[in-house]
Amino acid sequence: MSGTAVEFAANGTTAGGYLALPDGGSGPGVVVLQEWWGLVPQIRGVCDRLAGEGFVALAPDLYHGEFAEHTEMDRAGELMTSLPPDRAARDMSGAIDFLLAHEATTGDAVGVTGFCMGGMLTLMIAALEGDRVAAAAPFYGAPLGREQFDMDWSGLSAKVEGHFAANDDFFPPEAITALGDDLREAGHDVVFHVYEGTGHGFANEENPLGTWDEAAAATAWARTLAFLGAHL
């Protein structure tokens, strides 16, 4: 299963990405959001795996052709922090437009999943896009801290099931649990799984941080497939 590079309209400009289609010809749409490394082969592989399970998967290239190798953590950090939030929102919204208009996509809403930076963006775009996102599955990433993210969650209508590491200095589980409690108290349908003994990036089989956990990754993936299948 392999996809193709595509271009799509994004609020008056053009964005790019990687699209993988299921062998069956059609299926629910899922947007896949990159880690801070960029649109690298591992993220394209996530799209291919989703397509293998019957989904139409699109990963927008939020860095517009730039990326960092796993040995370039400083560059990855620079790419992430210099990503213009309005451009990222525009590209993600354009990706949703593209999927919903694609002949292979079934349904009138998409799912979104993302990893690290992409996990954070998963929740943000779900809140911005309202009922165009029916299911959001972030992995070890969320908008934490009112000082940095003044989030308006009133537009969040998606079901949310997240996957987080028990040992994560980037996204501490205590803060993740508090966010989940706040969202549920506000009436949102949110489940956050915290995987004991795991570190940030535990589902990345390329193991850039030395934290890949095969068992936890398999459990999180199976849960994500079941979740997306139930709500798309």
Q: Residues 208, 37: contact at Cβ < 8 Å? A: yes
Q: What confidence score (pLDDT) does residue 144 get? A: 81
Alpha carbons 137 and 159: distance in angstroms, whole number: 9
Tally Cβ neighbours within 10 Å of residue 187: 10
Q: What confidence score (pLDDT) does residue 11 get? A: 82
Alpha carbons 19 and 7: distance in angstroms, whole number: 10
Q: Which helix (H) or strand (E) holds 217?
A: helix 214-231
Q: Residues 70, 211: contact at Cβ < 8 Å? A: no
pLDDT tens track of the chain, all 232 residues?
579 999 999 988 899 999 999 999 999 999 999 999 999 999 999 999 999 999 999 999 999 999 999 999 999 999 999 999 899 999 999 999 999 999 999 999 999 999 999 999 999 999 999 999 999 999 999 988 654 567 889 999 999 999 999 999 999 999 999 999 989 998 999 999 999 999 999 999 999 999 999 999 999 999 999 999 999 9
Q: Residues 110, 31: contact at Cβ < 8 Å? A: yes
Q: Beta partners for 15?
A: 8
Alpha carbons 110 and 62: distance in angstroms, whole number: 18
Amino acid identity, position 68: A
Instruction: Identify the DSSP state of 140.
Output: S
Amino acid identity, position 125: I
Residue 82 tokens read as 């210099």
Q: Residues 36, 76: contact at Cβ < 8 Å? A: yes
Alpha carbons 112 and 34: distance in angstroms, whole number: 11
Candidates 110, 130, 16, 26; CA nearest to 64 is: 16
Domains of the chain with CATH codes: 4-231 (3.40.50.1820)
Sheet with strand 4-10: strands edge to edge: 4-10, 13-20, 56-60, 27-33, 105-115, 133-139, 159-167, 190-199
